[in-house]
Structure 1
Amino acid sequence: MYKIIKKIFFLLLVFIFFFTTLTCKRSPIEPNGSEMLWLEFEDASCTEAWFNLRLNNLPKPVRVDVYRENYLTKSFTISATNDTLFYIENLLPKQKYDVYVKVRGSDGKEYKSAKVNFETMDTTSHEFSWQIFEFGEKGNSVLYDVAIIDENNIWAVGEIYTKDTYTYDSLGNWIQPYNAVHWDGTKWELKRIYFPTVCGGTSISSYPAKAIFAFNDRQIWISSSGDKIAILKDGIQVSKFCLPSNVSMSINKLWGSSSNDLYAVGNKGNIAHWDGRKWTKIESGTTLFLSDIWGVSSHELYATGNSRAFVRGVVLKGNGQTWQTMIVSESDDTTGLFRTRLYGAMEGLWVDERGTLYTVGNFMFQHKHGRWDFMHSLPGNYFGGNPNYLHRGYLHDVHGNSSNDMFICGQINTLRHFNGVSWAEVGIPYYPLKYGLFWYRVAVKGNTAVAVGSNLSRGVVIRLWR
């Protein structure tokens, strides 16, 4: 009996050995899809979702079929790269979806990714209450820029000529014009911000104010249309000075991450930086009129420049140390559109919470996930799509809270709100022949938006809230 048991035990060991050896050999079945490809969700707006598809050196070319809720929604071919960014569109706001891909390589083998779940953003409301105020009874009054500290603390700057200013009084004293207005939650009040009359001198003047930027520490910086700057603290002017000669320019816009990290951009491609101790001139690589600047952080900044006369523009990108051309814009050639150039003049820009860069001028463009394109949701925003200003005028500015809550403003009373899906005119209804009303800047904070500009010879401000 013992010998029989021993023999059975020996045969069992032999069987286990051969079984283990066979199962440890490489299977002739191809690896499953999870080992050959990865589908990653990147981002979603109200109507689009972006994905990154990574391939594990599958033989090219490969065909990719994208399925949404088990229905084929998009197909494309990858010829070379292993990493591909793609998007799907025509989604509904605030909806949950699942997406997967099937990939077929040139060897005929097919692989399937795991499902990716995501939810689109919700829309915001177009419903705003609004009030319009005008300032100035003579001359050419205008408001150039605006900053919102909160809904009850708003500053707009420009040049305002009332009937009793910019003239001599009965005693022969020169009455200077106003160059700012302030909203205190109840009313707008005319203000004078003073700059040095002459750099190095002691006299002061309320020169036209061109740009304003408000910091979180309640410090407000305001520039003249030249090289002069005034600083307010809690609404009280505390300083005024001229830019040093090495950075002197006609300032057009200000932006900073703090009062010790501020940039000024101006004519002839000028950029200057304040670090809390000194001003430094920074080479921009362009001589165009720099009209706007916006920063994501101290190390990611953007600026736009233009020549309206020649319908040209440029978008610059800075890293806190240097600036370089991101893309140029021309009007005489559409070759390389969105790859090497855009079209038309560039006036304003803004970056949303997801890193998408928007520029406005003759057209509205967006730079999203490394790609330039028209902002297709804006009606008529393509070549030949806006004859005789049917949909809008030339655009001056873009700002918002998020990608589903932004405004654009411009000429011929163009003031639009985007809710993530559609655009709506807010305030006075749009009329293509209303040439006198121009909006130059728009600021947005929470449920408050303010745009400023001119209506014929008067400065104008519209306050919107919801």
Structure 2
Amino acid sequence: MIRTTAVLSVIFGFLIIIAFVSCPEDLKPEPEIEGDILLSVEDTRCQSVYLNVSIPDSGLRKLYSLYRDYQYIRTDTLYGTDTLIMDSGLQPSTDYLYQALYVYRGDIIDSSDIVYARTMDISNSDFTWYVDTIADYPSVLRDVAIIDDNDIWAVGELKMTGGPYNAIHWDGVEWTYFKIPNFKYPNQTLIGSDDLTSVYAISSSDVYFSTGGTLTRWDGNEFIPLVVFMEYVGDPDYGPLWRMWSESGDDIYLVGQKGYSVHYDGNTWEKLETGTDIFMRDINGKDNHVYATGYNDSGESIALELVDGEWKTLFEADSYYADWDNGEFGRATGLDVLSDTVYILTSIGLIKKPIDSNEMEFTPSSKAGLDLSDYGYTMIGIQALNDIYIGSRQGTVLHYNGVTWKRIPDAPVEDKAFYHGDFKNNTIALIGSFHWDGALIARGVR
């Protein structure tokens, strides 16, 4: 009896072990699932919201459900610890509430805090043009800087009685003509005899003017010639400087013809090698991130980025025409920087590049609803992602309001040529010349 009981005990224990080892998967103990789910709003557009979902990595496939205004939207799988998602099809200028739930086998493990998002409003595309003829033939304006709607500088070569002049200023009522002094050579100061090629305004009392080889500052009270950008008189490598960019008077960058580029630190200047002889026509940046684009009339173009004080090539093109399916971007014409992203306009589309990344995202005009078929688009200005203008040498202006691109009626002039533009607040300013008349400035005001 004792022996039989012992045998039965052994057999029973053995069966228990077998049953435990071979039990169905769904009878095994459930793993302990825990962790928080976090939800944050990363960005908004007129019709979409970008959200970041984060769940601690448990080594398991993680499911989360997203709710908008307490209504279920979708369930997705999260691999890793976080992901960026877009909720689209929304209404402009509208408030939304979002919440995310961490779900495992139908059970809610955790719920995020409710977060608030407001979509961007649609910007106004209704501009009215005001066109002024400046000076006499063959005068020309080459650059413009808007400080605000009633504080605008434009520079060039202005021939008229009492002149020549090289700058004009708009005070909200009228244009005033100026003879801005500049150095032609290190030991000579000229008053208004050299035309100006570029102007850049940091504030109303901190404006910089260049003849292409000099730099002069307006401090709100007087014009102060600062420096001459030339190795020596007759330097064959020198090319007139055409555009400048700065965030402070001790950190100014200029680019121009023959790929010429310089940096001015408030006291001394240095030449920066670009590695190209292409005519550099635009420059912009943020902090220590600086970008430039240029092109020749023959079609060659280049986009550059300043890295550790040296210009590096982002991309090149040898023709105005391009096939983006083959990785061609087209001719690089203009650029602007908004927040942490540089936007480069090309002959067939728009390039977006984060300033802290080497990745470039190209959107062909056909996919962006952007009609560049008129050609000659060389100017771009971005105030916000719902407020962008693109201008052409013929005076055609396109405006993006956050949802669609609209063509603003052309500036009402014929036989015109525009060379540059600026966009700030509620004003677009285009400058250039009439073919058989004086200089030209057109202000689009909304």
Amino acid at match of 2:224: V
- Whether contact under 8 Å (1:96, 1:118) holds in the other structure is yes
Q: 2:335 corresponds to which residue?
A: 349
Q: 1:406 corresponds to which residue?
A: 388
The answer as to 2:396 corresponding to 1:419 is: no
Long gaps (5+) in structure 2: 1-27
User: Could you tell me how far apart the structure 2 residues matched to 1:315 and 1:72 are?
Assistant: 43
Task: Please give the secondary structure, in 1, of the residue aligned with 2:43.
Answer: strand
Residues 328-367 of structure 1: pairs in structure 2 closer than 5 A:
328=316, 331=319, 332=322, 334=324, 337=327, 343-352=329-338, 354-367=339-352
Residues 283-322 of structure 1: pairs in structure 2 closer than 5 A:
283-297=273-287, 299-318=288-307, 321-322=309-310
Q: 1:210 corresponds to which residue?
A: 197
User: Could you tell me how far apart the structure 2 residues matched to 1:58 and 1:184 are?
Assistant: 63
User: Could you tell me how far apart the structure 2 residues matched to 1:322 and 1:109 are?
Assistant: 56
Long gaps (5+) in structure 1: 1-25, 165-174
Using structure 2 for the length normalisation, give the TM-score: 0.74
User: Could you tell me how far apart the structure 2 residues matched to 1:50 and 1:317 are?
Assistant: 30
Residues 27-106 of structure 1: pairs in structure 2 closer than 5 A:
28-29=30-31, 31=33, 35=36, 39-53=39-53, 70=71, 72=73, 84-99=83-98
Q: 2:425 corresponds to which residue?
A: 446
Give the one of 161, 166, 170 matched to 1:179: 166
Distance 1:307 1:63, change over 3 A: farther
Give the one of 242, 263, 270 matched to 1:252: 242
- Over aligned residues, Cα RMSD in angstroms? 4.1
- Whether contact under 8 Å (1:161, 1:178) holds in the other structure is yes
Amino acid at match of 1:243: F
User: Could you tell me how far apart the structure 1 residues matched to 2:386 and 2:366 are?
Assistant: 12
Residues 86-235 of structure 1: pairs in structure 2 closer than 5 A:
86-99=85-98, 114=112, 116-139=115-138, 141-162=139-160, 164=161, 177-201=164-188, 206-216=193-203, 218-224=205-211, 226-234=212-220
Aligned residues: 406
Instruction: Tell me the alpha carbon deviations over residues 361-415 of structure 1, each in whole angstroms, 9 at most, x when there is no partner.
Output: 414414266652328699753xxx554x2xxx42222224322233222122212
Distance 1:302 1:197, change over 3 A: closer
Instruction: Tell me the alpha carbon deviations over residues 83-116 of structure 1, each in whole angstroms, 9 at most, x when there is no partner.
Output: 55443443321122345678999x9999997465
User: Could you tell me how far apart the structure 1 residues matched to 2:353 and 2:53 are?
Assistant: 17
Q: 2:377 corresponds to which residue?
A: 395
Distance 1:373 1:103, change over 3 A: farther
User: Could you tell me how far apart the structure 2 residues matched to 1:349 and 1:428 are?
Assistant: 22
1:156 positional shift: 0.4
- Whether contact under 8 Å (1:349, 1:397) holds in the other structure is yes
- Whether contact under 8 Å (1:74, 1:88) holds in the other structure is no
1:252 positional shift: 1.3
Give the one of 335, 347, 363 matched to 1:374: 363
Distance 1:242 1:455, change over 3 A: same
Amino acid at match of 1:301: V
1:222 positional shift: 0.9
Distance 1:443 1:73, change over 3 A: farther
